[in-house]
Structure 1
Amino acid sequence: MSNFAAYPSLKDRVILITGGGSGIGASLVEHFASQHAKVAFLDIAEQPSLELVERLAPHSKHRPLFLRCDLTDILALQSAIAQISHDLGAPQVLVNNAGSDDRHDFVNVTPEYWDQRIAVNLRHQFFAAQAVAEQMKAAGSGSIINMSSISWIIPGRQLPIYNTAKAAIVGMTRSLAHDLGPSGIRVNCVQPGSILTDRQRRLWMSPEYEQEVLDRQCLKRHLLPDDVARLVLFLAADDSEAITNQSHIIDGGWI
């Protein structure tokens, strides 16, 4: 990562990342750790998260802090954030990254499945922001970065609830930016396109879909988690201190 920017303002800053154990989240953890930040991350998948900590710890100024947390349990989420504040200090950056793009058919959706998917992809973002907001207000600054997707714009197929949640995140971002801006807190949204994570490679990246992605993008290459992480670093750092209330698309020119 020596060819890319270093952000002095991120040094020793407390960063909270949800869904940090794999995929884009793991890249976020690694990139923030490389900036000498104090990184805490939440994930329900314990083993890959612990392995990530052990891989990064020898090369990090601050050992990343992992807490296992089911983000659909809001009380557990609030408790985890309180523990992070106690152990590391108040989060100065929140990256609401966690989500799941499980495919589903509109005709088969039940109220129970709807509620579960909204809980996985939307609800925790709101309550995580709520949980860090008062401490950010007290500090007079903060950066909240909510992960959406271009999927709701395209729209992606067999993803009606996921698309609904990702569209709602854009609206939530704009609302929170206005509510929290007077306290010096910035709220932005990142909308990735097709990012070649291990999960995407394993479940969805068929030769046909790969060709569709490359046909639609202006840039004829796969986008990787590191591409997204570098954008998030910028939005977390003081370099972007005048940027809020925006949705930042990173899709290789798909839309």
Structure 2
Amino acid sequence: MASRYPDLAGQGVLITGGGSGIGAALVAAFCAEGARVAFLDIAETESRALVAQLAETAAHRPHFIKADLRDIAALRGAIDEAISVLGGIRVLVNNAARDDRQELDAIEPDGWDESQAVNLRHQFFAAQAAVPAMRRGGGGAIVNFSSIAYLLNMGELPAYATAKAGIIGLTKSLAGKLGPDNIRVNAILPGMVLTERQKRLWVDEADAAAGIERQCLKRSLVAEDMVGPCLFLASDASAAITAQTLIADGGML
């Protein structure tokens, strides 16, 4: 039986990139815990379909806000909307990312900056916008999604790997700053999670098999495998844990 976290019931939870993949699994999981969930995404069709699906069973219908997280003004406005709708924020999950492949010789400054905006910059500004509401509520938890990609010497991901490494530094810095406010900040490093996007764009059957061979656990990881670590770090079960990184990779490293 999956663990339950009753302290999350009724709490305001904001998830970025919640319309599909790992984000959608997280939205569903927090809804199942009875949390009041808002999520941001640029993909409207998938996001509205997720809301319709979860509205049938969730104690609180999730609230979708369309936002391009590269636009910091739009991000701030979306978080203000989420705070208003939820009545506050107890948990922020910085999940949104895009692992584009890039050739070293072809990267231009605009492409580099785009990757940082999509994968790193918005995590800081989302935290900045959410923290005042957490302070008013007496504390909270921020869970930042990084990746083991920056530890694997993957030559086709220089900008993405840099951003994911930067998230660890951001996590440590925010934890130091926000600890006195009873706000905990931790990071999750997923391994090779086979979302539909990954299978469509990057990972074929041979790649998946090679990844499983490197893992201790001999199965493909799926989005739902990230649910338990995230709920744990968001809940009071991890009340003494902050400034930490949790690797969830099936034992690849």
Is TM > 0.5 for Structure 1 vs Structure 2?
A: yes
Give the match for residue 154 of structure 1: 152
- Report the CA distance between 1:136 and its aligned residue: 1.2
Matches within 5 A, 1:10-89: 10-89=8-87
Give the match for residue 176 of structure 1: 174
SS for the counterpart of 1:186 is strand
Give the match for residue 198 of structure 2: 200
- How many angstroms apart in 1 are the aligned matches of 2:123 and 2:241? 20
One-letter amino acid of the structure 2 residue matched with residue 168 of structure 1: G
One-letter amino acid of the structure 2 residue matched with residue 9 of structure 1: D
Give the match for residue 7 of structure 2: 9
SS for the counterpart of 2:93 is strand
Give the match for residue 248 of structure 1: 246
Does the aligned pair in 1 maintain the 2:143–2:186 contact within 8 Å?
A: yes
Matches within 5 A, 1:77-226: 77-226=75-224
- How many angstroms apart in 1 are the aligned matches of 2:205 and 2:63? 38
SS for the counterpart of 1:226 is helix
For structure 2, the residue ranges without an aligned partner over 5 or more in a row are none
For structure 1, the residue ranges without an aligned partner over 5 or more in a row are none
Deviations 1:65-87 (A, max 9, x none): 00000000000000011111112
One-letter amino acid of the structure 1 residue matched with residue 198 of structure 2: Q
Deviations 1:93-150 (A, max 9, x none): 0000000001111111101111111100000000000001122122221000000000
SS for the counterpart of 1:59 is coil
Does the aligned pair in 1 maintain the 2:175–2:185 contact within 8 Å?
A: yes
- Flag as ranges the 4+ runs of structure 1 deviating above 2 A: none
- How many angstroms apart in 1 are the aligned matches of 2:178 and 2:84? 23
- Report the CA distance between 1:177 and its aligned residue: 0.3
- Report the CA distance between 1:207 and its aligned residue: 2.6
- How many angstroms apart in 2 are the aligned matches of 1:204 and 1:135? 38
SS for the counterpart of 2:56 is helix
One-letter amino acid of the structure 1 residue matched with residue 235 of structure 2: A
Give the match for residue 239 of structure 1: 237
Does the aligned pair in 1 maintain the 2:175–2:186 contact within 8 Å?
A: yes
Percent identity between the aligned chains?
51
- Report the CA distance between 1:210 and its aligned residue: 1.4
- How many angstroms apart in 2 are the aligned matches of 1:231 and 1:66? 23
Does the aligned pair in 1 maintain the 2:83–2:133 contact within 8 Å?
A: no
- How many angstroms apart in 2 are the aligned matches of 1:64 and 1:168? 30
Does the aligned pair in 1 maintain the 2:100–2:157 contact within 8 Å?
A: yes
- How many angstroms apart in 1 are the aligned matches of 2:242 and 2:102? 33
- How many angstroms apart in 1 are the aligned matches of 2:214 and 2:35? 36
| TM-score (structure 1 length as normaliser) | 0.98
One-letter amino acid of the structure 2 residue matched with residue 120 of structure 1: V
- Report the CA distance between 1:205 and its aligned residue: 1.8
- Report the CA distance between 1:155 and its aligned residue: 2.5
Does the aligned pair in 1 maintain the 2:141–2:184 contact within 8 Å?
A: yes
